Chains A and B, each alone.
Chain A
Amino acid sequence: MTETARPIIQIQNVSKRFGKVTAVDNVTLDINAGEFFVLLGPSGCGKTTLLRMIAGFELPSEGQILIDGQDMAGIPPNKRPVNMVFQSYAVFPHMSVADNVAYGLKIAGVKGGEIKDRVAEALELVKLGGFETRMPDQMSGGQRQRVALARSLVMRPKVLLLDEPLSALDAKLRAQMQFELSDLQEKVGITFVTVTHDQDEALSMACRIGVINKGEVAQLATPSDLYEYPANRFVADFVGSVNIFEGKLTLDDPDKAAVDCPGLGKVYLNHGVTGPHGADVWIALRPEKIYLHVPGEGKAVKAAAQDAPDGFNFARGKIKGMSYLGDITLFEIELESGACLRVSRPNLSRHDQDDFTWGDKVSMHWRADSPVVLLG
């Protein structure tokens, strides 16, 4: 985050309708100068439409978009101070790498000598120095993407828009590019706005994330806030893996609360919720926040926790499913109520996966500050 949170893009009450379909529904959103902003959402949620409206390829049905304080209404894409990296990269196949990168500068009428310097600088920035004379069909997908990046960055835009930049890369390259994009953004200091449906991508790269659902902003937060304090069931479920239980708020004091869930039993919280008594709420509990006891260990922990019964939550169940993923093992545990709970357990030693087997009766606990109470 930059020291001054000056908005560079202001999206104000923007809606976009295609015939009867509302792709973007009354979105208001500020993107700050110098930040790495990610629009996250499932496919078809309207995030790409929002990006294309910033670029000028779609016009809002209602509302206005301001870039650096200037209203963009009536300004065509070729006159906007933003550049876009397309999902297909859209590298010009009949031009060499250098010609691709130089294209925008030539159109802008920059002088030949300066073009050469700036192209070299941009290619160096994306680690494609020495590739000037290559043709796009002689390059890999990852390299073509770098060409597209350089082609946009060379224009020194106020904002760089990236449409699903990593979706076409393989897993290893994607992880590497996540770091590189973050690095690049810090180095050039340009505001990046990325669209993605991949939560890992969003969490690892973003300063702030706007989660979009059905054309509306579901939540606007930093990656850790989004994960630890989801605002609603959609966000809790879309970002990361989660157990959600419906319940009623039965106790709501400033320093503690309790939710009675038919599926999970009584869940204690060490903070207030500020909701009406008896209201319908949902409890969201991340699988990694649940501690699974190896047989025999549970009793000792419970005994130790007797002094502070509200500090821990307990549950019992039977292992119904297990999947070993290497770094962690995922358990599906059938509770006494019949509901299922997903629990993940890190494999801290090389034998941890042997601690449990199908059908084992197990006990679990989680801290009173782990569950999130969702009102919507």
Chain B
Amino acid sequence: MALFARTPVAPLEYSRTLWMRLWVGAVMIFLYAPLVVLVIFSFNDSKRNVVWRGFTTKYYEKAMGNDQLVEALLNSLTIAALATIVSLVLGAVAAVMLWRFRFPLKSAIDGTISLPIIVPEICLGVAFLMFFAAVNWPTDLIWPFNLGAITIAHITFCFPFVTMVVRSRLATFNREQEEAAKDLGASEWQVFRDVLIPHIKPALVAGALLSFTLSLDDFVITYFTSGPDTITFPVKVYSMVRFSVTPEVNAASTLLIVLTVALTFVALKLQGVKAIAETH
């Protein structure tokens, strides 16, 4: 009898106990049910999109054919890519600097660097609005320069996240590796390139992922900093929802989900299983 042949559940094998499985299942439903509904209803053949009226992909075609939506998506991706690259460099350099060197006002900088994470987004948004108005930031530039204000705002709240993850990774760095590289003839720059960067690579990947997704779905700050002619994907979706929630919105959102999941997957592949094992 298979029932009796089953090995008994060991004291710490929580993943095999029934109540734990039920709990995990409940958490998963809580987290993902709304997303699943969103994806399913993107295939709904109904303009009002309240009850299921049959399968169709026509709203995907409609979304792809919506020039404004595509432009908004393109803008969002451009901003996210730029913000990620700059945040990565800025955040990593800040983390290494705070970890490696002593300089005046270090503790003050250390304390304020993560402020953009803590300050409510709405305040940041208003602050940026005032700031760009005060400096007379031009709003009539050609693409992609018209995205400048939004990108700068995004970098501001993205790079502290990079600093945070890179710093926690640096805390596990064995300084003897740095000394070993120097001992073998490496200059400061070579130590940085050959030893330190490979060590913080998992944190850089994680930081890039964080920055990209934070930037991609930011609404509040973008709403305040976008000019009259620049629109990003979340802002566009918001304006579409104001009229009615059509399956077109669902389709567009689903595409965005697929895109983020794919990017995450690629990033984790890039990072490799090995890099994760190295953390130990």
Residues of chain A whose beta carbon lies under 8 Å from any beta carbon of chain B:
55, 57, 76-79, 82-84, 86-88, 90, 92-94, 103-104, 107-108, 135, 137, 148, 151-152, 155
* Docked-complex contact B184 and A83, CB < 8 angstroms: yes
B176 within 8 A of A: yes
A87 and B176 within 8 A (CB): yes
A92 and B185 in contact, given A135-B274, A137-B277 (Cβ under 8 angstroms): no
With A57-B179, A77-B179, A94-B198 already in contact, the answer to whether A104 and B185 are too (CB < 8 A) is yes
**Which residues B164-199 have CB closer than 8 A to chain A?**
174, 176-177, 179-187, 190, 194-195, 198-199
**A55, A79, A82, A92: most-surrounded residue (chain B CB, <10 A):** A92
Chain A CB within 10 A, most for which of B174, B177, B180, B198: B180
Q: Among residues 182 to 227 in chain B, which have CB atoms less than 8 Å away from a CB atom of chain A?
A: 182-187, 190, 194-195, 198-199, 201
Contact of B184 among A76, A87, A94, A107 (CB under 8 A): A107
Chain B residues with CB below 8 A from A107, complex form: 184-186, 190
State in angstroms the CA–CA spacing of A142 and B180 once bound together: 18
Which residues of chain B come closer than 8 Å to A152, judged between CB atoms? Answer: 183-184
Given contacts A94-B198, A104-B185, A107-B190, whether A86 and B278 have CB atoms under 8 Å apart is no
B93 CB to closest chain A CB (Å) equals 21
- Taken together as a complex, chains A and B put the C-alpha atoms of A88 and B180 apart, in Å, by 10
* Bound: A152/B186 CA distance, A: 13
Closest Cβ of chain B: how far from A319's Cβ, in Å?
A: 49
Judging by beta carbons under 8 Å apart, are B182 and A78 in contact? Answer: yes
Which residues on A sit within 8 Å (CB–CB) of B186?
A: 78, 103, 107
Give, as a whole number of angstroms, the nearest-CB distance from A43 to chain B: 17
**Residues of chain B contacted by A57 (CB below 8 angstroms):** 179, 182
Q: Which parts of B140-181 form the interface with A (CB within 8 Å)?
A: 174, 176-177, 179-181
**Among the listed A76, A90, A108, which residue makes an inter-chain contact with B174, where contact means beta carbons less than 8 Å apart?**
A90
> A83 and B277 in contact (CB under 8 A), knowing A88-B174, A90-B177?
no
The reply to whether A92 and B274 form a contact with Cβ atoms under 8 Å apart is: no
- Mind listing 30 A-B residue pairs with CB under 8 Å? A57-B182, A76-B182, A77-B179, A77-B183, A78-B182, A78-B186, A82-B183, A83-B183, A83-B184, A84-B180, A84-B183, A87-B176, A90-B176, A90-B179, A92-B181, A92-B194, A92-B195, A93-B199, A94-B198, A94-B199, A94-B275, A94-B278, A103-B181, A103-B184, A104-B184, A135-B274, A137-B274, A137-B277, A151-B180, A151-B184
B277 pairs with A88, CB closer than 8 A: no
Give the total of B residues in contact with A, Cβ under 8 Å.
Answer: 22
Q: Nearest-CB distance from B280 to chain A (Å)?
A: 8
B179 with A86: CB separation less than 8 A = yes
Interface pair A77/B177, CB less than 8 Å apart: no
Q: A94-B201, A152-B184 are in contact. List 20 more A-B contacts (CB 8 A).
A: A55-B179, A55-B183, A57-B179, A78-B184, A78-B186, A78-B187, A86-B176, A86-B179, A92-B194, A94-B198, A94-B199, A103-B184, A103-B194, A104-B184, A108-B185, A137-B274, A137-B278, A148-B180, A151-B180, A155-B185
Write out the residue numbers on chain A whose beta carbons fall within 8 Å of the beta carbon of B190: 107
C-alpha spacing A300/B184, complex, angstroms: 66
Whether B184 pairs with A155 at a CB distance below 8 angstroms is yes
CB neighbours (8 Å) of A88 from chain B are 174, 176
**In whole Å, how far is B120's beta carbon from the nearest beta carbon of chain A?**
40
Q: Would you call A77 and B194 a contact (CB within 8 A)? A: no
Q: In the bound complex, do residue A90 and residue B180 qualify as a contact, i.e. CB atoms below 8 Å apart? A: yes
The smallest C-beta distance from B245 to any residue of chain A, in angstroms, reads 48
A-B pairs, 7 with minimum CB distance: A104-B184, A90-B180, A90-B176, A94-B198, A107-B185, A86-B176, A90-B177
Cα separation A77 to B181 with both chains bound (whole Å): 10
A87: B residues at CB distance < 8 A = 176
Complex Cα spacing A104 to B184, Å: 5
Give bound CA distance, A350 to B184, whole Å: 53
**Residue contact A77 to B182, C-beta cutoff 8 Å:** yes
Closest to A87 in B: B176
CA distance A94 to B274 in the complex (A): 9
A94 to chain B minimum Cβ distance, whole angstroms, is: 4
Which residues does chain B contribute within 8 Å of A84, judged by CB atoms?
A: 179-180, 183
A94 to B194, CA, bound (A): 9
- Nearest A-chain residue to B191, judged by Cβ: A78
Within 8 A of A (CB), among B229-280: 274-275, 277-278
Contacting residues, chain B, for A78 (C-beta < 8 A): 182-187
Binary flags per residue of B75-106, CB closer than 8 Å to A gives 1, else 0: 00000000000000000000000000000000
